[in-house]
Amino acid sequence: MRRPALIASALAAAAVVAAGVLVLVGSGSSRGAYLVRAIFDDASFAATGEDVRIAGADVGTVRALGVTRSNQAAVTLAIDNPAFVPFHADATCAIRPQSLIGEEYVDCLPGSAGSPPLPLIRSGPGAGSHYLPVTRTSSPIDFDIVQDTSTMPVRQALAVIIDEFGTGLAARGSDLNAVIHRANPALEQTDRVLAILDAQNRVLAKLATDSDRVLGPLAAVRNRLAGFVREADVTAVAAAARARQISQTFHLLPAYLSALRPLMADLGRLAAQGTPVMSELGASAGALDSELQNLTPFAAAARTALLRLGAAVSQAQPSLVATMPLAARLRSLGAVGRPASANLALLLESLQHTGAIDQLMALLFNGAVAGNGFDSLGHYLRSEPLVSTCTNYATSPVPGCSADFGQAAAAAASATAHSAPVVAGALRAAAVAAARPDPIVASALRAAEPYVQRATGALRGVLGYLLGAG
């Protein structure tokens, strides 16, 4: 019957598969080589002494084959080229066909330097080698095996094997799924990516919507964004040049924050106490804003006035600077005349309190009234006091009395003319005398001499007018 034959064929195929995974231990040693114990789901066509390659270059050989307790193939790789060690946690190895006669080699990638090295096996099987888990290995099925399934005996044997495997793998679908995924690492990584995308599907949908909203305005200002990127590059270069100072700044930041904490507490209390004031200021902000807006025209007009005033000050500055010596002399004169000014102030204050000025004016008025005469035309001013019979009031001419005062007027004018030079000479002599003790006072008196002369001339003119020409 065919069924016993099929069973016998299946048993024979199983024996062949089992024979492929028997422990083959190499007798040679691997002194000085970097050992990697790589775990594969299937290494039935691998053999000791086969090449280990990285990027197509031979870097070592297969030193030993074994079987783990979980019925997985353990392949010990000896890496002889130190330029490709150590292997890292993201390293990968795959068994690949080398020729059409069934020879194979192990193709590996040592991983990135940013990943940690493979862990070292301290004891037990593979002690002294570095452990590469089965999740980082793969054993692709050779093309000739797939092609052999089209021949009649192999197809029948494969059908028996699949039937028996279906019985043997009952309730072990998860294990078979794991083996299939490990057979092609891309499927495992794809499943991980799909799982992550499925968990983030709502986030991705929101990202697509929000990215359109963000990229639209950014496209409108892409020139500014490009300028920002260029300036950021310049800033980054400058910051890199001062990396040590920036690091020192961050090192000192905790101490600065500790010292800043009491100040921030005080600022917090100030803010709490100033809240009512800020509220009132907020209530009056509208009125203040209106006031500031009303001040805008005034500020504009004042700006023009201030500019003109500045120009005037610039023009007047040389004149003002030229008066500084005169101001210094006047200050010295004021300091010298302070005692006399104080005494004069006391005198004038005393005269004001006692009414002396009013009484003097009354005396002058009454004296002038008492000494003046009266005739048919009215009061007349006497130039000098006369005591005679001609001073009485009369309405008709009195024999012997005449209103001709020519001789007296001429004498008075002559006396005045002679007295004016005397007064000027006295002032000049006083200036000469004053120049000896204090040159400043003498200079002030010399400066006042023209005014005294003009006052003397004016007095001479008044007296001439009152007394008449002689």
pLDDT digits over 338-347, tens only? 888 888 888 8
Residue 105 β-bridge partners: 96
Is 27 in contact with 58 (CB distance < 8 Å)? no
Mean pLDDT of 181-205: 74
Give me the mean pLDDT over the 24-30 stretch.
36
Task: Name the band, by pLDDT with cuts 50, 70 and 90, for residue 130.
Answer: very high
Please state, in angstroms and rounded to a whole number, the distance separating the CA atoms of residues 169 and 175. Answer: 8
Mean per-residue pLDDT of the chain: 75
How much is the pLDDT for 424?
52
pLDDT value at residue 333? 85
Is pLDDT of 35 > 90? yes
Contact status, residue 63 vs residue 48, Cβ threshold 8 Å = yes
* pLDDT classification of 3: cutoffs 50, 70, 90: very low
Q: What is the pLDDT of residue 437?
A: 46
Whether residue 440 contacts residue 448, with contact meaning beta carbons closer than 8 Å, is answered with: no
The neighbour count for residue 178, using CB atoms within 10 Å, is 15
Contact 185, 92 (CB under 8 A): yes
Q: What per-residue confidence (pLDDT) applies to 108?
A: 94
Angle at 231 between CA 226 and CA 234, to 5 degrees: 135
Query: How confident is the model over 142-171, as a mean pLDDT?
Result: 69
Q: What is the mean pLDDT of residues 19-31?
A: 37
Q: Does position 7 have pLDDT exceeding 50, yes or no?
A: no
Cα 18 to Cα 188: distance, rounded to the nearest angstrom = 27
pLDDT of residue 388: 65
pLDDT at residue 2 is higher than 50: no
Distance from the first to the final alpha carbon of the chain: 189
Banded model confidence at residue 36, pLDDT cuts 50, 70, 90: very high
Asked if 64 and 24 touch (Cβ cutoff 8 Å), the reply is yes
The answer to whether residue 4 scores a pLDDT higher than 80 is no
Task: Compute the average pLDDT of residues 278-300.
Answer: 85
Check residue 34 and give its pLDDT: 94
Among 143-152, 235-244, 460-469, the least confident range = 460-469
**Average pLDDT of the residues in 196-210:** 80
Kindly indicate the confidence band of residue 17, based on its pLDDT and cuts at 50, 70 and 90.
very low
Q: How sure is the predictor about 455, in pLDDT bands with cuts at 50, 70 and 90? A: low
Contact 87, 111 (CB under 8 A): yes
d(CA 175, CA 181): 10
Residue 182 has pLDDT above 90, yes or no: no
pLDDT at 449: 66
Q: What is the mean pLDDT of residues 140-151?
A: 66
Higher pLDDT, 388 or 263: 263
Q: What is the 3-state secondary structure (H, E, C) of the chain?
A: CHHHHHHHHHHHHHHHHHHHCCCECCCCCCCCCEEEEEEECCCCCCCCCCEEEECCEEEEEEEEEEECCCCCEEEEEEECCHHHCCCECCCEEEEEECCCCCCEEEEEECCCCCCCECCECCCCCCCCCEEECHHHEECCCCHHHHHHCCCHHHHHHHHHHHHHHHHHCCCCHHHHHHHHHHHCHHHHHHHHHHHHHHHCHHHHHHHHHHHHHHHHHHHHCHHHHHHHHHHHHHHHHHHHHCHHHHHHHHHHHHHHHHHHHHHHHHHHHHHHHHHHHHHHHHHCHHHHHHHHHHHHHHHHHHHHHHHHHHHHHHHHHHHHHHCHHHHHHHHHHHHHCHHHHHHHHHHHHHHHHHCHHHHHHHHHHHHHHHHCEEECCEEECCCCCCCCHHHCCCCCCCCCCCCCCHHHHHHHHHHHHHHHHHHHHHHHHHHHHHHCCCHHHHHHHHHHHHHHHHHHHHHHHHHHHHHCCC
The pLDDT of residue 106 is 92
**Percent residues over pLDDT 70 in the chain:** 65
Whether 433 has a pLDDT exceeding 80, the answer reads no
Main-chain dihedrals φ then ψ at residue 419, nearest 5 degrees: -80, -30
pTM tops 0.95: no
Please give the residue that has the higher pLDDT: either 231 or 4: 231
CB 77 within 8 A of CB 63: yes
The answer to whether 61 and 108 have CB atoms below 8 angstroms apart is: no
Residue 168 has pLDDT above 90, yes or no: no
Which residues are within 8 A (CB) of 418 and not within 5 positions of it... i.e. 6 or more apart? none
Highest mean pLDDT among 14-18, 25-29, 360-364: 360-364
Q: Which residue has the higher pLDDT, 295 or 189?
A: 295
Q: How many Å is the Cα radius of gyration of the chain?
A: 64
What pLDDT, on the 0 to 100 scale, is given for residue 131? 94
Q: β-strands 104-109, 92-97: how paired?
A: antiparallel
pLDDT band, very low/low/confident/very high, at 459 (cuts 50, 70, 90): low
Would you state the pLDDT for residue 323? 85
Lowest mean pLDDT among 30-34, 97-101, 406-410: 406-410
pLDDT computed for residue 370 by the predictor: 66
Report which listed range, 59-63, 248-252, 345-349, 434-438, is most confident: 59-63
